[in-house]
Structure 1
Amino acid sequence: MKVFGIIGWQNSGKTTLTERLVAEMLARGYRVSTVKHVHHDVDLDRPGKDTWRHREAGASEVVMASAKRFALMREYRGPEPALSEILARLAPVDLVLVEGYKRDSHRRLEVWREGVADRPMIALEDPLVAAVASDKPLPGLHLPVFDLNDIAAIASFILRDLGLAEQRRAG
């Protein structure tokens, strides 16, 4: 599996770009999964429901399964799991788009919007940022800069960067 990240400061448009890239990659015939890093507790369950009760009883993992999907919840009673541990649990696909995890060792694209963050551009300090997608031109930046709405060009760049461009599959 190839891994490529989408990073940026809060409210820059990472999720929207990731969503649009998934659709574009699927249209090109690639199998895609995503991993989203969050900084708050996540719970798909509701107190009192059966699977919640299983977890409260001490189950390490609980699966909620239906005819259309399943969700695996794993309890961590220690430090947050590493991205590599999460990736190892995914079913094989061509590409995993990782939203967040801006401190990990995979290549990534930064989403940058003027005025969204009062922080500096991550690409200026991070050698793993391979390109930037922005809502405005960024002259003088020594990286490829894509219009944030040019999903086809961004997708093509990611595929080339990962060596997947030649492996295009029939839809």
Structure 2
Amino acid sequence: MRDAKGPVIIGIAGFSDSGKSCLAEALVEAAAAQGLRVAYLKHDGHADEAPDDWEKPGSDTARAAAAGASVTMVASSRGFLLRSRQEGGFPAWFAAIRAVADVDVVIAEGGKRAAHAKVAVVRGEGEWTQLLAAGAVAIAAAVAPDGALTGIPVPVFRPHQAADLLAWWRDRWRQGALAAPVVPD
């Protein structure tokens, strides 16, 4: 599944409550069922504009962050949760995943304007048009309810077709037909 450039990256874009997280979960489940190692990245657009609330108030890591730590980690013998306050976007986040995890697939939810290839999750043609008008780029496929999209320039999958979408995406990725992010080393 991996190539010299790292894991396959499947971006997911759409508006709030469009079904992005449900699709991400279904893709994670489909990939894991095939024995693939999966990372999930969720962009929190609300934290871009306001102070984040990712850490429990008063926790040791929250206090360390408040004291000036740019990176905090909660760890045990079973794993760790890494948190960085360093600015960046999808390329930096993909690089961080590659640095700490050996995965075959990254499911990246959010970032409609980011350069990497993605699936648009929409409820109909109106949302498709609005998503494009909102600046969505590199849309390679769409997920929509039955009959919701016709005549658009990308393949359309149904919400229950996550395994089919994953197979299509992997094939296109291997062919180099999808926009891969430039990930700094």
Q: Report the TM-score range of the alignment, normalised by the length of the smaller protein.
A: 0.7 to 0.9
Distance 2:39 2:132 in 1: 24
Residues 120 and 139 in structure 2, CA contact (< 8 A), matched pair in contact too:
yes
Going from structure 1 to structure 2, the CA distance change for 1:51 and 1:116 (only over 3 Å counts) comes to: farther
Distance 1:89 1:98 in 2: 13
> Quick check: 27-36 or 59-68, which moved more?
59-68
Moved over 6 A (4+): none
Match of 2:8 in 1: 2
Which of 151, 163, 169 is the aligned partner of 1:158? 169
- Identity over aligned pairs, percent: 33
Distance 2:160 2:118 in 1: 17
Match of 1:29 in 2: 35
Displacement of 1:10? 1.2
Which of 88, 91, 95 is the aligned partner of 1:84? 91
- Residue by residue, what CA displacement relative to the aligned partner does 1:47-105 show, whole Å, maximum 9, x if unpaired? 222222211221221111123331112224xxx41211111111231111111111111
Displacement of 1:23? 0.6
Q: Name the structure where helix makes up a greater proportion of residues.
A: 2
What amino acid is the match of 2:96? R
How many equivalent residue pairs? 161
Distance 1:130 1:118 in 2: 13
1:12 aligns with 2:3: no
Distance 2:43 2:14 in 1: 12
Q: Unpaired runs of 5+ in structure 2?
A: 1-6, 176-185
Displacement of 1:5? 0.6
Displacement of 1:126? 5.2
Going from structure 1 to structure 2, the CA distance change for 1:135 and 1:97 (only over 3 Å counts) comes to: same
- SS of residue matched to 1:156: helix
- SS of residue matched to 2:124: coil
1:134 aligns with 2:148: no
Considering only aligned residues, what root-mean-square deviation do their CA atoms show, in Å?
2.6
Displacement of 1:159? 1.3
Match of 2:78 in 1: 68
- SS of residue matched to 2:39: strand
